[in-house]
Structures are given as C-alpha cells and as structure tokens.
Structure 1
Amino acid sequence: MRILSWNVNGVRAVVKKGFFNWLESESPDVACLQEVKARTEDLDDAILNPEGYHAVWNPAERKGYSGVAIFTKKKPKAIHRGIGIERFDVEGRVIRMEFKDFDLLNVYFPNGTSGSERLQYKMEFYDAFLEHCEQLRAEGRELVITGDVNTAHKAIDLKNPKANEKNSGFLPEERAWVDKFVSHGYVDSFREFHPEPDQYTWWSYRFNVRAKNVGWRIDYFFVTEKLMAKVKDSFIQADVMGSDHCPIGLEIKAK
C-alpha cells in the first residue's frame, strides 16, 4: 500500500496549482490531506469526490480554517472523525480509517505560534491524542499516524535550530512531547530510512527560503513498532510545489 500525505494549505488553492496532476501521476492507494481550509458545501464535486477514490472529509466548523480529508482507492472497514473531545473535534483535525492490518490516522496537529493560549491548546491536544492512540492499541490495533505535527523533533529536523529554540515548533516542551510519543512505541519512519540532514517538509513563504532549502521537517509518518517491519520506505517529495509544505509518503506491505 502506498500512502501519501500533504498539508495543502487550502485545497482550493492547491487544486489551481496542479494537485490533480500530482494525484493522477502518483496514483497513491491513499492520500491524506491536512489544512484543507474548506467546508464541503463550498467545494465542487471534482474536489469533493475525486475520480477513482472514496473521499472522506472532516472540515472545521470555522470557515476557511484547518480541516482534513482522506482519499482512498480501497474502501475502509470503518471511518471515524475526531478523537471524542469536542473542543478539539470542532477544528476538524483527525480522521481515522480502519483497514485490515492497521488503522490510519490523518492528523492536523494545532499550531502554537499565535500566543500562549494556542500553545497550551496544542500541548493539551498532544496529550489527548497520545491517550487516544494508546486506547486504540489497548484494543489490539496497529497504527499508522500521518500529518502535520507542527513540531520539529530534533536539531537535525530544521535548518536553524539555535535561532528557533524559543519559537513554537521547536520549544523544549513540544520536542519533549515528541520524545514521549516515540518512547510509547511510535516510530518516526522517515528517520529509519533517511538519517541524513537537510530533509525538510515545510518552508516559510518569506525570503525565498525554499530555494535555499531553509526548512523544517514537521510532517511525519509514525508507525507502531510491530508494524514497522512491514514498512518498505518512508520518503519526502521536496520537489512537489503548490503549498508551503511538500508531500510525504509511506510504502507499507499491508492491506
């Protein structure tokens, strides 16, 4: 199974920048989108129901904000939206699909850059999400978790770590949570295959930094330890334009 994930920073905008050409040429079994920034009633059918895919949407209640979607060729056994906590679920941050061998969670984690209140919300979401995952694993499920985590885990995961130690996205408490998440048995699959530096998934729109590759790796595929043996590759498509993020991908021998 080939799964791709992309924070599109507005689905209507990315469609105008060649999204469907990318989807057709890549032809993933599953495509997970974050930050779709659209309610379903505001989208035309070509976007809502892409040809050849079952489409599931979980938009935020607030217009033009957040929201996630999954396009899948194979119909899942079950679909779940949110994590069961209203103050998080109104922001349209999670879709979970049950497949035969694993559950796939597509997640747009909160951004903590707009002040202390949102940073606290982000940290509370982090803790609630880990608890949600642990409950699923207690039920015997293996998990693939993908999306925009909005935190660079280690110094290797951003170009300028020293300059960003006091900025949300690289704060000690945010990085400590990723440490905790990994310690619970969720493997950062990309780093298993690609330990080298200068591998990023997000670049600011300012100062032409993408051309200089001054970026951050804040988009991930986490895989439960037992399932990791079935992962064949985890990769970044840094050359794909259309958003301030680029797509990431996972090849897994599973159904």
Structure 2
Amino acid sequence: MKFVSWNVNGIRAAVKKGFMDYFNEVDADFFCIQESKCQAGQIELDLPGYEQYWNYAERKGYSGTAIFTKHTPLSVKYGVGENDSEEEGRIITLEYEKFYMVTVYTPNTKRDLSRLEGRLQWEDELKAYLKELDEVKPVIYCGDLNVAHTEIDLKNPKTNVGNAGFTDEERGRMTRLLKAGFTDTFRHLYPDTTDRYTWWSYMSKVRERNIGWRIDYFITSDCIVPAIEKAEIHDQVLGSDHCPILLEMKEF
C-alpha cells in the first residue's frame, strides 16, 4: 500500500501549481492533505476511483484536512476521544479491518509561543487517543506535526533552540509518543541522514539553499514496522512551502 501526506498550504492554490500532476503520478492508495484552507463547496476535485473525506475548519480560509482514498473505510471520525468534531478541522481517522489511518494538522505554537500551552494539551489528548486506537489495531499516523524532533531534523538547530517547533516541550512530547509504542518511519530507515527536510520558509533563496525543517511525518505502531518498505521525502515537488512525503508498506 502506498500512502502520501502533504501540507498543501491551500488546496485551491496548490491545484493551480500542479497538485493534480503529482497526485496522478504518485497514484497513492491514501493521499492525506493538511491546511486545505477551504470550506465545503469551494472546490470540487475530480478524483476518479477515490473517496474523499474532508474536515473543514469553522473559520474560513484556515487549517483543514482531507483524505482521498481508494479504500472504503469501516468508519470515519473527525475529532479525538469522545468528540466527533473539532472546530479547526485538524484530524481525520479512517478505520479499516487491519488498521486505523489518521491524518493530523498539529497546531503551531506561534512565534511568541502564545499557543504553547494549548499545543501541549493537544499533544496529550492526541497521544491518549492514538494509544486507545493502538490497543484495538495498528495505527498509521501522518501529517504536518509542526515539530522538528531532533537536531538533524532542521538546518540550524543551535539558533532555533526554544523557537516554535523546536522547544523542549514540543520535542519532548514527540519523544514521549514514540516511546509509547510508535515509530518515525523515515528515521527508522534513515536514522542518521541529514539535510532532508519537508518545510522551508518563503524567505528569499531559503528553499534553494535547503535551509529547512523536517516537520511532516509518517508514524506507525511499532508492531507493523516490519512492513515498512519505503519512506521518502519528495522535496523536488513544488506547489507549497511543504513537500509531500511517502510511505510504502507491504501487507500486514
């Protein structure tokens, strides 16, 4: 099975920048997007063979997620725990016979860290939710998680210590999740690889010089790690300030 995740930074803008070319070329079983920035009815994607599941933010032009899949789920959930909705449209869970597919757009703590407390609460609730799912069947969890976990996950770690996306608190929450029975699939295959990033600032020449951060992930339950075949970063694909990431798994 082939999975793709991409923060498109606005699906309507991405479509104008070649989104469909990549979508058709990659031919994924599951194609997850974050930061769709649209409401119901604002865009109609013609995706033959795919079912579409959208979680729209209540606020217009903000956040939002979607999953396009060739496989009909047993159930669909928008939210965590007992909640089947959340106002910023940040999470979708599809249930299948053998696994759960979860895509997430994690809240940014903001430059002044004003959302850090809320972010940590989000992380705690999400970890509890993922563990709850994992006790039933394996989880494949992906998205823009808005954290560079280790120093090799960004170009300039020393000058970014304490900044949004690289605070001790955010990194610690990622460490805690991984220790709870989950695996960062890219680091599983490439534990020491450097200079592979998924997000770059729009500042002049930053992407050309590859001054980036790896903040987009595929994370799986430990029990299905042997099924991982590929974990790729498609940094040659433009159209957003993020690039797509890919996970391929054999049957498990």
TM range (shorter): over 0.9
Alignment root-mean-square deviation, CA: 1.6
Aligned-pair CA distance for 1:88: 7.9
Other-structure match for 1:65:
62
The 4+ residue runs of structure 1 with deviation greater than 6 A are 85-88
Q: Does the 8 Å contact 1:34/1:66 carry over to 2?
A: yes
Aligned partners of 2:23 and 2:84: how far apart in 1? Answer: 32
Which range is displaced more, 164-173 or 72-81? 72-81
Give the aligned partner of residue 203 of structure 1: 200
Structure 1 position 100, deviation (Å): 2.3
**Pairwise mapping of residues 142-157 of structure 1 onto structure 2 (< 5 A)?**
142-157=138-153
Q: Is the 8 A contact 2:78 2:84 kept in 1?
A: no
In terms of fraction of residues, the more helix-rich structure is 1
**Residue 227 of structure 1, CA deviation:** 0.9
TM-score (norm 2): 0.96
CA shift digits 1:158-186 (9 cap, x unpaired)? 00000000211001111111110111011
- Give me the whole-angstrom Cα distance separating, in 2, the residues matched to 1:201 and 1:36: 17
Q: How does 1:1-255 map to 2 (within 5 A)?
A: 1-43=1-43, 45=44, 47=45, 49-84=46-81, 89-138=86-135, 140-195=136-191, 196-254=193-251
Cα offset, 1:86, TM superposition: 6.2
Give the superposition deviation at 1:40. 1.4
Length, aligned pairs only? 251
Moved more, 85-94 or 232-241: 85-94
Equivalent position amino acid for 1:149 in 2: L
Structure 1: runs of 5 or more not aligned? none
Once residues 82 and 116 of structure 2 are traced to their aligned partners in structure 1, the CA distance between those partners, rounded to angstroms, is: 18
Gaps of 5+ in 2: none
Counterpart amino acid of 2:184? D
Q: Which amino acid aligns with 1:73?
A: K
Cα distance in 1 for residues equivalent to 2:243 and 2:177:
23
Deviation at 1:208, TM superposition (A): 1.5
TM-superposed deviation, 1:85: 6.8
Contact 1:59 1:92 in 2 (8 A): yes
Name the % identity.
42
> Conserved in 1, the CA contact under 8 Å of 2:57 and 2:63?
yes
In the alignment, the residues of structure 2 paired with residue 207 and residue 88 of structure 1 have an alpha-carbon distance, to the nearest angstrom, of: 38
Residue 234 of structure 1 and its aligned partner are, at CA, apart by 1.0
Distance, in Å, in 2 between the alignment partners of 1:133 and 1:162 is 31
Question: Displacement, 1:84?
Answer: 4.3
Contact 1:88 1:125 survives alignment (8 Å): no
Within 1, Cα distance between the matches of 2:115 and 2:83? 16
TM-score normalized by structure 1?
A: 0.95
Shift of residue 12, structure 1, vs aligned partner: 0.2
Q: Is the 8 A contact 2:152 2:195 kept in 1?
A: yes
Write the distance in 2 (CA, Å) between the matches of 1:99 and 1:136: 12
Aligned residue identity for 1:177: R
- SS of the residue corresponding to residue 24 of structure 2 reads helix
SS at match of 1:239: coil
